[in-house]
Amino acid sequence: MYKNLVEILRKKGVTNKAYAEFLGISEKTAWNKIQGRTEFTLGEAQKTCLLLSEYKMDYIFAVEAQVA
């Protein structure tokens, strides 16, 4: 899960629906990407960084460690 991305979008008031529309994908696909179930494309990551330009890509897409 991309906790930083979720928190930044929440702080900016960007809904999952609005984020999905911005990326040109379905809400379900956006949610799967945010949850780490599917990968972001380079283009989607770059668009996200344009939307959230005050943050660095490595911070936005930092992955939470999974406990086994």
* Chain segment 38-49, per-residue pLDDT in tens: 999 999 999 999
Give CA 37 to chain center in angstroms: 12
The pLDDT confidence band at residue 65, using thresholds 50, 70 and 90, is: low
User: What would be the CATH architecture of the domain defined by 3-60?
Assistant: Orthogonal Bundle (1.10)
**Residue-range domain boundaries for the chain:** 3-60
DSSP secondary structure string, 32-62? HHHTTSSPPPHHHHHHHHHHTTTS-HHHHTP
pTM (predicted TM-score) = 0.87
> What six digits make up the tokens of 64?
């939470």
The pLDDT confidence band at residue 63, using thresholds 50, 70 and 90, is: confident
